[in-house]
Chains A and B, each alone.
Chain A
Amino acid sequence: MTSTQAEVEIGYDISNEFFRLWLDERMHYTSAVYENDKQSLEQAQINKCRILAGFAEATPDSLILDIGCGWGANLEYLVLGHKVKRAHGITLSRQQHDEIMQRKLPGVTTWCVDYKDFVPPEKYDGLVSIEMIDHLVSPAQQQEGLAIPIYREYFNKLAQWVKPGGHFGFQAILRNRVPRTRKDLEDLKFTADVIFPGGLNPRLEELVAAAGQSWEILQLHTRRTDYGRTTAEWLRRMQLHEKTIRAKWGDTVYDNYDRYLSTCVRAFKNHWSGDVQMKLRRID
């Protein structure tokens, strides 16, 4: 089944303070988009949000929904940076939801709810969803051939939530090549089992097959090297706080995240993983 609330909370609910130490200050926990060699992580995260808001064709008068809104960093960009007057968000993590509430973002309404149970209060002009689809399919479901039907259910459901011709700024982590050595395989399995249990990254061809029933793909950009650079920067920042993290959250947390982020850096470098952004338009 899709990642449960308990599984999602393993990945995101250690402590907001822990994540704030090594993510950027706004706590974007998804790939940034770098426009040149000199850009900071902070600027690259804003780039990501700007690109996705553009894909959703967000204007100040749009009502935008962020599906899997994390700690609210993208919602914050939408209302403060992109000047959208109203934005909605849903997340499965209670700690993330609490953090958003504390940010008191003007024009933002959020729900702590599974997307399958969410009943939109009105139709949206546009949607954004950043790497939330990576929680939808378990390895067991993929092995049973259920991945594309589950992704299709997600894309079809979301298509019902937008007005005719509505746009969708979509981003996902991808799995690509499978390493063949035991050490590499065990590191990837560790990430899947310990850091993000219950989830499996989609393959690009699965997404294309699943989205096409309800959405036209207008643009598609791969972001593998951007995610490699993003995770390398997260790792660097976390290692700077090693003493603090070991003292506050214990050796296991530090060692697990050191292994996880180091594996991510190798995964993007070696094409085991990738990332994609798509601009989608509802087919009417």
Chain B
Amino acid sequence: MASNVNMISLFQAAALEVNGKKLDGLTASTVISKLGMDSVAVMELVSYFEEKLSIRMPDEDLAQVQTLGDLHNLVKRLVPAGTEVTL
């Protein structure tokens, strides 16, 4: 279990592993659907996050995620106490 997580680093690693995509210039307001990945790749990315962080993101919450900042807020709520999630 990670105790310190940087969302942007983890997102970049996930995109590289899942999609072979190198992403730069990510910020809290980056819209995930505009990163040039199809819906399958985005969900694989979610799956990567869940596995790395040992969490399950509820589908009703995922449906509301549009930006990296939204994802950050969701992940912050789900990780165990003691895990720090930065952006």
Contact = CB atoms under 8 A, between A and B. Distances in A.
Interface of A: 139-140, 142-145, 176-182, 185-186, 189, 203, 205
B47 A180 contact: yes
3 residue pairs, one from A and one from B, having the closest CB atoms: A180-B47, A143-B33, A185-B40
A189 B59 contact: no
Given A140-B33, A143-B33, A185 B59 contact: no
A177 B59 contact: yes
Contacts of A182: 40, 44
B60 A205 contact: yes
A263 to B, nearest CB: 13
A139 B39 contact: yes
16 contacts: A139-B39, A142-B63, A143-B33, A143-B66, A144-B66, A176-B59, A178-B59, A180-B50, A182-B40, A182-B44, A185-B39, A185-B40, A185-B44, A189-B38, A203-B63, A205-B60
Contacts of B50: 180
Contacts of B40: 182, 185-186, 189
Question: Among the interface residues A145, A177, A180, A182, which one has the most CB atoms of the partner chain B within 10 A?
Answer: A180
B46 interface: yes
A182 B59 CA distance: 17
Interface string B29-69: 00101000011100110110010000000011011001000
Given A145-B66, A180-B50, A189-B38, A203 B60 contact: yes
A179 B44 CA distance: 9
B14 to A, nearest CB: 13
A101 B43 CA distance: 44
B47 to A, nearest CB: 4
A46 to B, nearest CB: 33
Contacts of A178: 43, 46, 59, 62
Contact of B43 (A143, A145, A185, A205): A185
A189 B39 contact: yes
Given A140-B33, A185-B44, 9 more contacts: A143-B66, A176-B59, A178-B43, A180-B47, A182-B40, A182-B44, A185-B43, A189-B39, A203-B60
Contacts of B44: 180, 182, 185
Contacts of B46: 178, 180
Contacts of B38: 189
A249 B62 CA distance: 39
A236 to B, nearest CB: 28
